[in-house]
Amino acid sequence: MIDLLSARWFRAITVAVLLCLLLWVSSNRIVVFIGNHYFEPTYELCIAAIGVLADDVTQLERQIVCNITMIQMVADAEREIAAQ
């Protein structure tokens, strides 16, 4: 069990699952907060997660997908907060 908890891939998947869960529960304010304060670590986690899930995708393609997706999520969340 200790080896599993210290495995890098297990920690990355755990963080990704927790992040997805948080985003699903209270998405708009959390997405904006993460986008404003933790964009780079989240961006690197996204790139790493895509690398684990689809190892045939190039680094540049992973960066493009993560960048566009994250910026779109933050923009949508900010728009929805402003509309409330």
pLDDT means per 10 residues in the chain (84 residues)?
A: 62 76 70 87 88 85 91 90 85
What pLDDT is attached to residue 8? 72
Nearest to 52 by CA among 25, 3, 14: 14
Proportion of the chain in helix, strand, coil states, percent, rounded to 5? 90, 0, 10
CB 74 within 8 A of CB 32: yes
What pLDDT is attached to residue 63? 93
Question: Is 0.75 topped by the overall pTM?
Answer: no
What pLDDT is attached to residue 67? 92
What pLDDT is attached to residue 1? 46
- Return the H-helix or E-strand segment holding 80: helix 59-83
